[in-house]
Structure 1
Amino acid sequence: MSISIPRGTQDILPGEVEKWQLIEAKARELCEKYQYQEIRTPIFEHTDLFARGVGDTTDIVQKEMYTFDDRGGRSLTLRPEGTAAVVRSFVEKKMFGYPNQPVKLYYMGPMFRYERPQAGRFRQFVQFGIEALGSNDPAIDAEVISLAMNLYKEMGLKKLKLVINSLGDKESRTAHRNALVNHFQPRIGEFCHDCQNRLEKNPLRILDCKQDHNHELMKTAPSIIDYLNDDSKAYFEKLQHYLTQLEIEFVVDPNLVRGLDYYNHTAFEIMSDAEGFGAITTLCGGGRYNGLAEEMGGPETPGIGFAMSIERFIAALNAEGIELEINQGIDCYLAALGEEAKDYTVGLLQKLRLAGVSAERDYLNRKIKAQFKAADRLNAKYVAVLGDEELSNNKINLKNMATGEQVEIALTQFVEYFQENKR
């Protein structure tokens, strides 16, 4: 009986995984420049964390979580997103007392959601995200957005669209919430079961419904922009001013609703406008979540962050035809002729590697011609040929694969010579 990979997961093989490594390295490099530090949280957490932190009216909590009871009868969940766990750690480890504020963190790792797999969307996926906790300044909202935009641009993406909205403060949201209830209530029976449940719990989520998005009431629903109080308007205008200062183009979309319950004020998405990218164009989403730390038992702490899928990042690169340079080749391939020479290359290979040289040798007892073909496949810059006769004479032949030039070198000086001349 053969065993296949679970649906909604993928193997990332050599030749492809290098793309991931380049993106991850660039993300870490940018975080260092922006002064965000890495945090690593558990892959599973208590289920209540996500019910409280993500929101019990969200599709994530209601339909998509991988939840199980452990042997002690405790309900645990594979993390479906990163923010709730980061904020839990922030509160539990009392980071709000750190001298350097705001606390700026980033994470990178697998997340799990039980949903229908499709192009660029998996049940296990890798997410990179940042969280800035402790500041109410709209300038840090702009910084968070700029980090995401810069990461995409520095990897070569050009067809990007930034969409922003304001969900307002508590007073603005309450006024908008009441307007939404009054708008939808007379005809809520025409909507799906989920929307009917959301009417009283979180009517804003109705606007995010994929099943009823074409209903006529959706088009005439009250806009949050019309219910922003003066403070919320000023905050949103300041954010737009900062984005303009940073030369980041954006579009204001009053209908943008993030899928998590804890957002307020700034909400944003970065989308791909590349032809053929697919129906789901969102690459990255985020926003401000003042109040989440209090929900976790901590002090009042404003926060903002984003999360992006590495899978969708790569899909966007493919849609724009951007090829990342992933195969730099190796420095040296050791080709051996004769048993004594083959034995000797085991130790010589180790010396090269310890000297900082990327090197490989034959392990299949192939003929010299096949060994040269293997060196070509590995994109070796040099091939060093050692036979039993050369070994007895303390010599080795080094061939430059680009120029065809060959030199004979004393074995005792080979590693040193190669270090000095391999560039």
Structure 2
Amino acid sequence: MGNYHHLLLRRWILVMVVAVALHAHGGLLAVQAAAQKQLVPCMYIFGDSLVDNGNNNNILSLARANYRPYGVDFPDGAAPPGRFTNGRTMVDLLAGLLGFQPPFIPAYAMAQPSDYARGLNFASGAAGVRPETGNNLGGHYPLSEQVSHFRSVVGQIPPAGREKRLGRCIYYVGMGSNDYLNNYFMPDYYNTAQAYDPAAYAAALLQEYELQLTALYALGARKFVVAGVGQIGCIPYELARIDDDGDDDQGRGRPPPTSGIGLSIPGITVSIGGSGGNRSTANGGAKKSGCNDKINSAIAIYNKGLLAMVKRLNRGQQTPGANLVFLNAVNSGKDLAANAAAYGFTVLDRGCCGVGRNNGQITCLPMQRPCDDRTKYIFWDAFHPTEAANRIIANKVFSSSSTSDAYPINVSRLAAI
């Protein structure tokens, strides 16, 4: 019996020692446990309002979403997090699929040094590839500045094992929409449409884009997820500019609707039909699709060049060891629209929240009441998808076996490399 009590005492002492160790090293053990569940050790995000999660909150900019109803469905019910949707963004959901647990990948502007090695979100609403893009909306961080922020972060990560770790991370980059919406197709504010035809403009964008991707490569990035641009000629903002005769209001000499946040929505394209969405062809670039095909045609040129760039960088002559995945935003959007009923969507051509035609002339006003059932809407506001749409796109690019969705492999396979 004495031996039995002695054994119990030894076990109790062992349990107490382990408990003390867990308490003393709880943070490290928690990180290690989370890392075991993650497919990659870290994730870094670069982009615009589609994936911004608060970097613009405290700068002088119209491109901000840190007020209700933005974030109304965010899981923890916290204060508006600065995301341009009702809940989670596509990269929030993609990070979840990669095994990252809440708290989500933090915004760089609000992060602590202890966050740096796990991942950061550098995205900025209104940002583009070109530095002047989005200046009409005030302050923001263009792609080159986002990369510069990452450079400063890399310098603060302990060098031991840093190169290997960074090479295993996922780098999501989604840029280009604002270079069209808030630059090329704003001729009263920018001169790019006079200086470039669509092909030349796409080439100029892609040249700068490749420069920034190779800068990330030089800093240690190897696994890239590069998102194409959706058919932004079909977003509620553009639909609101097309009158009942199919004309683009801009083309008739009338000013565009004033948008509180003139931003982008890569990843969504909608075949418009019903409820005033199926408008006829006329002179303003809006054709039988009901969308602004002039914009969509320019986007098609850009996406084709972006895919070619991904293929070239994957060949390794300039970036040996790099693996880039191209996300076909147009194809994902077409699937979203074609199978809307199966996905539970009933409203394809207007925002859940906003003002004016298609809820697309002004984005959500502070404390405005949005639609009651956000799961029925593809668009949250004039420019951005709902969390429901974001979830479908994230699931698709993570696991799709079709190269028309993610080329040449999906994100889960990229993570496994």
Q: State the TM-score, normalized to the length of structure 1.
A: 0.25
Higher alpha-carbon Rg: 1
> Greater strand share, 1 or 2?
1
TM-score (norm 2): 0.26
